[in-house]
């Protein structure tokens, strides 16, 4: 039987970013060099496939340091941790390796800088996300005010005369964040902010790539986890950008084929914590049902690389 045609528009860049590559390598190298088990506080990156592969090599994922035996190796996830966590690791004689993405660490330094200047810090981000918990935990309790939405920005009550500054989570929607910042700036003209926004290059590029294909796609799939902020944002960006029928899947096996009924074009991308092999898996499964033509649409090339901690080099 003749298969129906399906053009797959592959968004580029997609998938793993430099911060995720580095975090995964830190776990792998620590296991190679020092042997298993190596404990990892929180999912190293928000992707079950990656986590399960590392578990098979000897990583043990825990939510809190209390679950790590004294003297063991522990890696902190790419999302960053509150200051209390390395302090607790030291007190318990754990050997800690920090896989916090350098672009998240940069936001931590901004928070400290503003606080040292006597400014009240507003963090734009999503409550409960580990990156937000880590960034808020760089400063004393109550020093950071969290703003999640334009409504929050409209409602917060702060002294007009106070020195204020904003920072943001790295994986937010660019448009939503700009709208929140615009409200804050209108209400608090003395607001300080980063010279270049805190939303990272990887989030920016993946959102731009989705915008570039969204209007050409009957459907769009984002490979990523429901707790991956940047993946969830990609679905929203696709919907806002011209492809209302966009959905998130963890693996190819999650595809609901009824979703693709009647579609002649499919956009495909992956969040920053999803490896390329999961995208290939989707393409392969589509080939079993459709006569697939691939068109890669790359808005830019990424050459960002981050160094590993010194203890793991050479
Ligand atoms: S998404 Fe951005 S901030 Fe997060 S790990 Fe990747 S590069 Fe770093």
Q: What is the pLDDT averaged over residues 40-52?
A: 95
Give a yes or no: residue 209 inside a domain: yes
Q: What is the pLDDT averaged over residues 86-102?
A: 97
Question: Directed axis angle between helix 174-187 and helix 201-214, to 10°?
Answer: 120
In the structure, what pLDDT confidence band is assigned to residue 196 with cuts at 50, 70 and 90?
A: confident
Q: What is the pLDDT averaged over residues 34-38?
A: 97
Residue 71 and residue 40 in one domain: yes
The candidate with the shortest Cα–Cα distance to 17, out of 278, 200, 176, 250, is: 200
CA of 191 to the centre of ligand 1 (A): 25
Residue 112 and residue 81 in one domain: no
Q: What is the pLDDT averaged over residues 144-167?
A: 93
Burial degree of 128 (CB within 10 A; 0-12, 13-18, 19+): exposed
- Nearest ligand 1 atom to the CA of 17 is 6
Residue 172 CB coordination number (10 Å): 25
In the structure, what pLDDT confidence band is assigned to residue 242 with cuts at 50, 70 and 90?
A: very high
Cα–Cα distance measured from residue 149 to residue 154, given in angstroms and rounded to the nearest whole number: 9
Residue for token pair 């999961």: 278
What's the total number of domains in the chain?
3
Is residue 205 lining ligand 1, measured as CB closer than 6 Å?
Answer: no
Among the candidates 100, 134, 166, a domain finishes at 100
Percent of the chain at pLDDT > 70 equals: 100
Residue 219 is predicted with a pLDDT of: 98
Q: What is the pLDDT averaged over residues 39-61?
A: 96
In this predicted model, which residue has the larger pLDDT, 197 or 254?
Answer: 254
Residue 137 and residue 165 in one domain: yes
Residue range(s) defining the domain that contains residue 285: 5-16+201-298
In the structure, what pLDDT confidence band is assigned to residue 73 with cuts at 50, 70 and 90?
A: very high
Residue 53 and residue 142 in one domain: no
Give a yes or no: residue 306 inside a domain: no
Q: Quick one: tokens of 19? A: 């911060």
Give a yes or no: residue 282 inside a domain: yes
Give a yes or no: residue 305 inside a domain: no
Give a yes or no: residue 304 inside a domain: no
Q: Whose CA is nearest to atom 8 of ligand 1?
A: 19
Among the candidates 187, 214, 238, a domain finishes at 187
Burial degree of 304 (CB within 10 A; 0-12, 13-18, 19+): middle
Residue 231 and residue 219 in one domain: yes
Which one of the listed residues 131, 197, 280, 295 is annotated catalytic?
131
Residue 284 and residue 205 in one domain: yes
Is residue 12's pLDDT more than 80?
Answer: yes
Question: Directed axis angle between helix 48-57 and helix 18-34, to 10°?
Answer: 10
């Amino acid at each position: 039987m003749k298969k129906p045609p399906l053009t797959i528009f592959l968004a580029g860049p997609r998938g793993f970013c430099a911060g995720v590559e580095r975090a995964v390598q830190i776990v792998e190298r620590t296991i190679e060099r020092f042997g298993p088990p190596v404990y990892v506080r929180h999912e190293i990156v928000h992707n079950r496939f990656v986590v399960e592969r590392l578990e098979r090599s000897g990583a043990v994922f825990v939510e809190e340091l209390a679950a790590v035996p004294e003297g063991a190796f522990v890696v902190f996830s790419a999302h960053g941790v509150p200051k209390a966590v390395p302090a607790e690791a030291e007190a318990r004689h754990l050997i800690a390796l920090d896989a916090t993405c350098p672009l998240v660490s940069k936001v931590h330094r901004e928070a400290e800088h503003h606080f040292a200047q006597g400014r009240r810090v507003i963090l734009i981000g999503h409550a409960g996300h580990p990156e937000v918990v880590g960034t808020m935990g760089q400063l004393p309790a109550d020093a950071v005010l969290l703003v999640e939405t334009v409504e929050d920005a409209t409602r917060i009550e702060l002294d007009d005369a106070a020195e204020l500054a904003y920072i943001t989570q790295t994986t937010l929607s660019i448009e939503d964040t700009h709208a929140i910042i615009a409200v804050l700036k209108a209400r608090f003209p003395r607001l300080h902010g980063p010279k270049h926004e805190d939303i990272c290059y990887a989030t920016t590029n993946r959102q731009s790539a989705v915008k570039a294909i969204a209007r050409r796609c009957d459907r769009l799939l984002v490979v990523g986890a429901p707790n991956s902020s940047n993946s969830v944002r990609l679905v929203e960006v696709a919907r806002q950008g011209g492809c209302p029928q966009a959905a998130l899947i963890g693996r190819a096996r999650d595809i609901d084929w009824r979703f693709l009924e009647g579609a002649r074009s499919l956009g495909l991308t992956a969040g920053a914590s999803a490896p390329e092999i999961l995208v290939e898996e989707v393409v392969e499964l589509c080939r079993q049902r459709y006569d697939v033509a691939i068109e890669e649409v790359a808005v830019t090339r990424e050459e960002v690389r981050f160094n590993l901690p010194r203890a793991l080099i050479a």
